[in-house]
Amino acid sequence: MDESNFFDTVSLSQIPSQKRRSFNKDYMSLSRNTIYHSAVDLDAIEIGDMPKKKEVKNWKSFSSDDLSVDFVLAYEQDTDTDKLKKRETFEANLKEVGLLLEKEERQRIHFVKIHVPKDVICQYAELLKLRLPLKDPDHIHTSENFVTSVINKCLDFINVRLDERKFPPKKNKLRADFSRDKFYLFDMDAPDFFNPSVRITVVSYILEREKFGADFHDRGIKTLLTDNIYKAAYPLHDGDLNQNGSMRKLLFEEWAAVSKLVKYQPVDDIKDYFGVKFALYFAWLGFYTHMLIPASIVGLLSPLYGWFTYSTDRLSQDICQLDVTMCPLCDKVCTFWKLNEGCTYSRIAHFIDNPMTIFFAVFMSVWATIYLELWKRYSAEITHRWGLTGFDLQAEPPRPEYLTRLHNAKKKKLNVVTLLDEPAVSFWKVKLPSIIFSFSIAILWICLAIATVVGVVIYRMAFVSSDSVYGDKTSYRIYAVPITAALINLVCIVILNLGYDRLAEILTEMELQRTQTEYEDSLALKIYMFQFVNYYSSIFYIAFLKGKFVGYPSKYNRVFGYRQEECNPGGCLMELTIQLTIIMIGNQAINSILEMVLPLVFKIYNTITIKTGLKTNDNSQIVSCNQWTEDYKLNSMDNKSLFIEYLEMVLQYGFVTIFVTAFPLAPLFALINNMLEMRLDAKKFIKYFRRPVPQRVKDIGVWMPLMNIVGRISVVSNAFIIAFSSNFIPKLVYMLKINKSHTDEGYLNHSLAYFNVNDFPNHRAPLSNPWNVTICRYAEYRNPPDHEYKYKRPVEYWHILAARLAFIVVYQNLVTFITTVIEWVIPDIPRRLSDQIKREAYKTNETIINYERERAKEKFKHNRDSILSGDSVYTDVFDVNGAAANFSERDNLHHRNTHSTTTEL
């Protein structure tokens, strides 16, 4: 075909402006796509070399009609006849369903614009069980109680509430499942009744199910995208970031701006723009961030208490002032050292390990329970406001991949919600074995991650015992231990993460999860289990294992012949704090940078490759002369976009709760991070990503039970950290039982055991003894060398161990009792909301009954008038129901398609 005859195959930027002006009419007459009403926006291109958006007609609509573009398919024209045939078949099926299509082929990237008519929306809104607002002149008004009124006044005073002029409050309307038989109940003539979110949902559902070939597997837009038949499929943004009056610009300026980080989020408008799933994530993140404020305030009290009392702390004073010679830290090459070398370390440790830590640990355990219970109440309120009360997973349509794999299934099962027969597999013979196999592989991979941590620990032990490291103290190899160990751990984590993420998707696909929500929940559980081990295993090692089973100088407990690492005489809590600080703050900083840099880099890369055609042999540029070309350059939005955000926040929640005893400032750093995270995530999704397809969800999914489990783990973890990693219990036993004056004076001397240097094994004794030391000390509870049972455990050790175990039992039961009472006192659904739901259900039924009564009266009146006038009753009845006929002229034409769609479900 001669390209010179068709303007739509030539780059607009390669044609001079004068020639472009003269060529415009020729292109209109020579367009080869008249069936699809192509040649859009050409009058705008006459204005100059590059079109200006404010001068472009039809920036987001069809060229011939004022029809909105609800969805766009993009592809590159090629000579592959098989791809062309599949595209034509797919688009023909879309038109047969009732969608209106218009092609634009005047640039290298071709676009298929899709508009969904009103009758098709009604058909699929009923099929998808969408809850839409009823005609109700009397809106539901919720009265404020005294407490709510006071809180709102305080919020107005500190100016954190939204500007109602920019974000008008949404009216609470009665909702019901849409039904075409009862169309008269719904205000379908309202301009925002079928809002863009509903339109996009309907088109997306049709695209995922329509066929493009003879085989049953040849269906769905996802398969076409995977096979590169289409380059992209996406809904359009509401204008660009500079278009006045667009919701996108309003959200970008009033929600995504960092300067608005103290403001509330417009969650209702976020729901209308991005869908329930995205809005629920940001609502949860905002609620979690607000709940971190009291935790941050109380967390500051612990280091502040340490700051004001460090000068009176007896333990740190004794470490700094007493002349105590300690036993060597390694075999042979290490020599004796002075305890006061750890003076600074012990003083810093007091900021964390002080009596205030116990109160903070109990507070955080109670806080975690209150946070989860209040979130249940808040989420119940917003999901009801969004029309999701009573929404069930069974009402969610099956995944296209699920239907494709089960298209030959002979077994059918009735869906009790939709009352449709769906393909099903045997739970005991097929689904359960696949789930067991899937999680078995996941657990095996988790064991590999644990083995990696064990390997790094052994590597550190080997270096500690190495003559080549400590033999020459000036050698750079002394610093190789932490650096190389961290690098090895990092490389192993990255490799395992890359492999496991893909493996988890394959394993989850094997489980035959029916809905997208079930699929994502199973995938989240597998990946979180692995990430939990990856992030926390080294921290658990320091908290619960390091320095606990070392032994004593004449008989150290060894692993593969290597001596274990020891804690400082002040305990391992400070080292745990350092580890937590580096991992948590460093990880948050890196993620925040990557979340903003990577989307920007990908967008720039996409823009360059699309404009210059680097990925193809065609070097023609793409001119942005409408919204679909603008959005094509953005990054695609997939189902894992929110998954990554949830994973990052739930991992942070683990740092805030599980190890908060060792890092009281964790809630404060989490608060600062999340305030920025909300706005940066919003900016990222609005500016660098295409608009997502709205999805209905009733809650945040598997992340809620995961946080509940983390809260339970945190109670046990903090109890063990206080009991075994801090000096709280040994010091308490010393003060109550051993010291007659009931003070901590002399506690340090009591906690250090004596060792006779002559008892060193010959092949383990230090090579040099410059101070002629005969007795050295080590941090343990053991009998002195002159005791009848030398180096054995004294009775004080067993008293301390019993006290530690008793503390764990008392702490755990006390916190569990408090949290249970809180869960019982705070119901998941507020009583006010429960009453409101009942009242709305009653009012909905009354509305339906009243409409039916009025219709019956009107029908009786027309029948009587027809009889009295002698006209045909059937004619008058038809006229009465004429609205139903006008409601959808194409209803009968699509009856067959509806029936086939129902059968496939």
pLDDT tens-digit series, residues 692-751 = 999 888 888 889 999 999 988 988 888 888 888 888 888 899 988 888 888 888 888 888
Predicted confidence (pLDDT) at residue 885 exceeds the cutoff of 50: no
CB contact set of 694 (below 8 Å; sequence gap of 6+): 197, 200, 201, 274, 275, 276, 277
Bridge partner residues of 71 (DSSP): 114
Lowest mean pLDDT among 33-37, 128-132, 350-354, 610-614: 33-37
Measured CA to CA, the distance from residue 514 to residue 420 in angstroms comes to: 14
- Does residue 28 sit within a domain? no
Q: How confident is the model at residue 393 (pLDDT cuts 50, 70, 90)?
A: low
Q: Half-sphere exposure (CA, 13 Å, Cβ side) for 799?
A: 14
* Most confidently modeled range among 173-187, 190-204, 619-633: 190-204
Alpha-carbon span 828 to 379, nearest angstrom: 9
pLDDT, average across residues 260-288: 91
Give the model confidence (pLDDT) of 42-97 as tens digits.
Answer: 333 333 344 444 444 567 778 777 788 999 999 987 777 888 899 999 999 999 99
Looking at per-residue pLDDT, the higher value among 327 and 157 belongs to 327
CB under 8 Å to 190, separation ≥6 — which residues?
Answer: none
d(CA 830, CA 620): 60
* Chain centre to alpha carbon of residue 14: 45
Overall average pLDDT of the 507-519 stretch: 80
Query: Is the same domain home to 590 and 699?
Result: yes
End-to-end CA distance of the chain: 44
Does residue 313 fall inside a structural domain? yes
* Three-state secondary structure string covering 94-140: HHHHCCEEEEECCCCEEEEEEECCHHHHHHHHHHCCCEEEECCCCCE
Q: Are 62 and 115 in contact (CB under 8 A)?
A: yes
Q: Residue 352 above 90 pLDDT? A: no
Residue-level pLDDT at 882 = 40
CA distance 614 to 638: 24
pLDDT of residue 202: 92
Read off the pLDDT of residues 485-502 as tens digits, 9 standing for 90 and up. Answer: 666 766 777 777 777 777
Same domain, 475 and 404: no
Per cent of the chain over pLDDT 90 is: 16
Structure confidence at residue 188 (pLDDT): 80
DSSP string across 307-369: HHHGGG-HHHHHHHHS--EEPPSSSSS---EEGGGGHHHHHHHHTTSSTHHHHHHHHHHHHHH
- Average of per-residue pLDDT across 551-568: 78
772 within some domain: no
Neighbours of 375 (CB within 10 A): 20
Contact 126, 235 (CB under 8 A): no
Helix (H) / strand (E) element for 657: namely helix 640-657
Highest mean pLDDT (candidates 401-415, 600-614, 781-795): 781-795
Transcribe 377-388 into DSSP letters: HHHHHHHHHTT-
167 & 229 share domain = yes
Tell me, yes or no, whether 605 and 725 share the same domain: yes
Flag whether pLDDT at 426 surpasses 50: yes
pLDDT average, residue stretch 349-364:
84
The predicted-structure confidence for 657-699, as pLDDT tens digits, reads as follows 988 888 888 899 999 999 988 998 999 999 889 999 998 888 8
Residues 629 and 649 in one domain: yes
Mean pLDDT of 241-267: 88
**DSSP conformation class of 828:** S
Please give the Cα distance from 267 to 856 (Å, whole number). Answer: 41
Amino acid at 754: Y
Q: Which of 220, 255, 290 is the last residue of a domain?
A: 255
pLDDT score recorded for residue 25: 35
Last residue of a domain, one of 795, 829, 863: 829
Q: Rounded to an integer, what distance in angstroms lies between the CA atom of residue 605 and that of residue 209? A: 32
Type of residue at 602? F
Residues pairing with 110 in the sheet: 75
Distances (CA, A) of 162 to 127, 280, 420, 435, 533: 36, 18, 44, 46, 41
Q: What's the one-letter identity of residue 509? A: E
Confirm if 27 and 7 have CB atoms less than 8 A apart: yes
Distances from the Cα of 694 to the Cα of 273, 395, 599, 689, 851, angstroms: 8, 16, 21, 14, 32
Same domain, 567 and 520: yes
pLDDT at position 449 is 82
How many whole angstroms separate alpha carbon 226 and alpha carbon 220?
10
Claim to verify: residue 516 and residue 539 sit in the same structural domain: yes
In degrees and rounded to multiples of 5, residue 691 shows phi and psi of -65, 130
Cβ contact 676:586 at 8 Å: no
Cα distance between residue 205 and residue 665, in whole Å: 47
Task: Clarify whether residues 99 and 123 are in a common domain.
Answer: yes
Count: domains in the chain: 3
- Find tokens 């001596």 and name the residue: 563
Predicted pLDDT of residue 144: 57
Answer yes or no: is 509 within a domain.
yes
Which residues fall within 8 angstroms of residue 68, CB to CB, at 6 or more apart? 60, 61, 115, 196, 199
Could you tell me the residue range of the domain that residue 580 belongs to?
275-396+427-730+803-829
User: Nearest to residue 372, comparing CAs of 318, 447, 298, 291?
Assistant: 291
Residue 108 has a pLDDT of 81
pLDDT of residue 481: 57
Please state whether the predicted TM-score (pTM) of the whole model is above 0.85: no
Q: What is the pLDDT of residue 18?
A: 37
Q: Please state, in angstroms and rounded to a whole number, the distance separating the CA atoms of residues 388 and 395.
A: 11
d(CA 519, CA 515): 6
735 within domain boundaries = no
Measured CA distances, 306 to 49, 313, 356, 357, 703 (Å): 68, 9, 8, 10, 35
Token pair listed for 544 = 């619960």
Residue 392 lies in a domain: yes
For residues 281 and 783, give the distance between their C-alpha atoms in angstroms, rounded to a whole number. 58
> Does 339 score more than 90 pLDDT?
no
pLDDT score recorded for residue 537: 83
Residue 413 is given by DSSP the state E
Would you call 810 exposed, middle or buried from its count of C-beta atoms within 10 A (0-12, 13-18, 19+)? Answer: exposed
Q: Which of 181-190, 379-388, 738-747, 755-764 has the lowest mean pLDDT?
A: 181-190
Helix (H) or strand (E) holding 728: helix 728-733
Query: What average pLDDT does the segment 519-534 reach?
Result: 85
245 and 295 share a domain?
Answer: no
The owner of tokens 């946080």 is 707
| pLDDT at residue 170 in the model | 78
Contact 280, 329 (CB under 8 A): no
Token code pair at residue 358: 């116990």
DSSP, collapsed to helix, strand or coil, labels residue 757 as: helix
Rounded distance, CA 22 to CA 632, Å? 29
Q: 389 and 287 in one domain?
A: yes
**Among 141, 198, 199, which Cα is nearest to 172's?**
141
Same-domain status, 544 and 640: yes
With respect to residue 473, please indicate whether it lies within any of the assigned structural domains: yes
pLDDT of residue 141: 55
Q: Is 585 inside any structural domain?
A: yes
- The rounded distance, in Å, linking the Cα atoms of 45 and 20 is 8
Q: Which whole number is the average pLDDT over 247-269?
A: 89
Lowest mean pLDDT among 26-35, 57-66, 180-189: 26-35
Q: Which residues pair with 101 in a beta bridge?
A: 114
Q: Which residue has the higher pLDDT, 867 or 848?
A: 848
What number is the average pLDDT over the span 597-622?
Answer: 64
Res 169: pLDDT: 82
CB-count burial class (<10 Å; 0-12, 13-18, 19+) for 602: middle
Pair 165, 205: CB distance under 8 Å? no
The pLDDT score that the predictor gives to residue 20 is 36
Q: Which residue has the tokens 């990255």?
A: 494
Q: What pLDDT is stored for residue 23 in this prediction?
A: 36
Q: Are residues 298 and 181 in the same domain?
A: no
- The pair phi, psi for residue 605, each rounded to 5°, is -65, -45
Work out whether strand 232-234 and strand 109-115 pair parallel, antiparallel, or are unpaired: unpaired
CB atoms within 10 A of CB 787: 12
Domain's final residue, options 200, 220, 255: 255
Torsion of the alpha carbons at 116, 119, 125 and 126, rounded to the nearest 10: -160
Lowest mean pLDDT among 230-244, 454-468, 479-493, 553-567: 479-493
- Over residues 4-26, the pLDDT tens digits come to 333 333 333 333 333 333 333 33
